[in-house]
Amino acid sequence: MKIAIIGTGYVGLTTAVVLSYLNHDVAAVDKDESKLTLLHEGKSPIHEPGIQNLLEGVWHTIRFTPNVAEVVPESELILIAVGTPPKKNGEADTQHVEQAAREVAQVCLPNRHYTLVVKSTVPIGTNQRVVEVVEDVFSERGIRGNISVASNPEFLQEGLALQGAFYPDRIVVGANSDEAVDTLRRLYQPILEQTFDPPSEFPRPSAYHLPPMMTTDPNSAEMIKYAANSFLALKISFINEIAGLCEEVDADVTEVARGIGLDARIGHQFLRAGLGWGGSCYPKDTAALLGVAAQSGYTMPITEAARTVNFRQRARIVEKLQGTLGTLKGKTIGILGLAFKPNTDDVREAPALDIIRELLAEGAIVRAHDPIAIANARRALGGNDETDNNRLLFTEDIYELSYDTDALVLVTEWEPYHKLELRRLAKQMKTPILIDGRNVYSPEEAGAAGFHYIGVGRT
């Protein structure tokens, strides 16, 4: 099928690469020249495990262009995967989605049928708005165009994006037209029926079942996306709330999570207590959902509480440092992990950024490490690695970072942080304090290596 994808961010590029791997004829549109330059050379502008290899296999078949007019007229299906950044009041800004829809309607041919699919995460009612935008352009052009609009929310997780794209739990389609549903069913047929040869890096999981394609109305599809993210966000916040109480009553939250997760109705996933959620999705989407509710005069106390608990986790880490070190003025704190989760260089809404800002505000000296996210964190925080009158220093060597520090804070559970030489670290620190924000180590293990250990939700 001939497809145009507008936007080459995490969602757009992953989708382009996967659909091209599945032998669709893909064109990808982006206005960002620096991204296009990389893509024209077969280089991925995003860090995502496996994407570079897969891109190298298909990039010569994908047409990358800044111009919708070059690719949309001949396409059967157009996917909008542009950003919906938060506005000042938390609502999602859909101007790029509407602009993309406008540009599509301006160049599509009057005598052809197109399916226009919104993959971006958008407030409820946006698909309807896109229909209006398209109709306005048609009336300006004085034509009777033929575009079916559909919602097809994306559920990929950063760091696991390709796995999720090849082997999704479900595909959700919200559409008012049978034609759009049929087109999307044909698009996803290789995934729905698992008829493709898996790429060597992404073998089909042995217990994987064919995914259902759920069809519904556009508003419900848009709501499914927000409700799914908000539910996952509140599941994490719930276990973090329990973790705080575990600390008060001398229980171990990892044991509690194991015990409640054994109940099939609850399940084990997303019950890892720690520093809570960051990234470009849960913070933005919970805020946007509250924004949608506010417009209707409706309140959502559960979603609000999930946010309060989440952001409190960051403050609690600083309080734990103060609890052991007293004042933080002049103290040197090592931060392990800047990305909002492992296997990504994404630092958007990352807990580490808030913690570092707070430590600097308290007068501490901060040394920070991350396997790949230092450049992005430096941009976000404005530190450098040369001047020492600047109290924020980035380093690529964990052991150099820990030398003479007053405490280490493990913020992101990157794989290399699971194998730290704890004894060596403890020996070279001024005071061997480990604040384990992700419960990577057990208190016993860290204690045996000489650390004063403080995790989340266990004493």
Q: What is the four-CA torsion angle of 287, 293, 299, 305, rounded to 10 degrees?
A: -20
Among 121, 215, 286, 343, binds ligand UGA (CB under 6 A): 121
Q: For ligand UGA, which is the closer residue by CB, 92 or 328?
A: 92
Closest CA to 410 of 345, 339, 343, 357: 339
Among 281, 288, 317, 435, binds ligand UGA (CB under 6 A): 281
> Strand, helix or coil at 215?
strand
Q: Choose, from 13, 172, 281, 434, the residue flagged as catalytic.
A: 281
88 phi and psi, to 5 degrees? -55, -35
Residue 10's H or E segment, with its range, is helix 10-21
Q: What is the four-CA torsion angle of 233, 222, 215, 181, rounded to 10 degrees?
A: -140
Please tell me whether residue 270 binds ligand UGA under the rule CB under 6 A. Answer: yes
Among 21, 282, 441, 451, binds ligand UGA (CB under 6 A): 282
Q: How far is the CB of 146 from ligand UGA (least distance, A)?
A: 31
Beta-sheet strands, E only, within 267-417: 332-336, 365-369, 392-394, 407-410
Site size toward ligand UGA, by CB under 6 A: 21
Only segment of 49-57, 279-287, 321-329, 429-437 that touches ligand UGA (CB under 6 A): 279-287
The conformation of residue 330, written as its DSSP 8-state character, comes to: T
Q: How many CB atoms lie within 10 A of CB 408?
A: 27
Q: How far is the CB of 381 from ligand UGA (least distance, A)?
A: 18
Q: How many CB atoms lie within 10 A of CB 305?
A: 14
Q: For ligand UGA, which is the closer residue by CB, 340 or 451?
A: 340
Q: For ligand UGA, which is the closer residue by CB, 66 or 416?
A: 416
Q: For ligand UGA, which is the closer residue by CB, 20 or 240?
A: 240
Q: For residues 347 and 340, what is the distance between their CA atoms, to the nearest angstrom?
A: 5
Among 50, 83, 276, 443, binds ligand UGA (CB under 6 A): 276
Q: How many CB atoms lie within 10 A of CB 77?
A: 23
Residue that the structure tokens 């306005």 belong to: 136
- Which residue type sits at 419? K
Among 7, 145, 218, 278, binds ligand UGA (CB under 6 A): 278
Site for ligand UGA in 127-186 (CB under 6 A): 154-158
Q: How far is the CB of 233 from ligand UGA (least distance, A)?
A: 7
Length of the chain counted residue by residue: 459
Q: For ligand UGA, which is the closer residue by CB, 145 or 168?
A: 168
Tell me if residue 281 is catalytic. yes
Site string for ligand UGA, 211-250 (x = CB under 6 A): ------------------x--x---x--------------
Q: Are 94 and 123 in contact (CB under 8 A)?
A: yes
Among 145, 168, 274, 432, binds ligand UGA (CB under 6 A): 274
Q: Are 456 and 248 in contact (CB under 8 A)?
A: no
Q: For residues 176 and 115, what is the distance between their CA atoms, to the nearest angstrom?
A: 12
Q: How far is the CB of 60 from ligand UGA (least distance, A)?
A: 28
Site residues (vs ligand UGA, CB under 6 A) = 121, 154-158, 229, 232, 236, 270-272, 274, 276-279, 281-282, 340-341
Known catalytic residues? Answer: 281
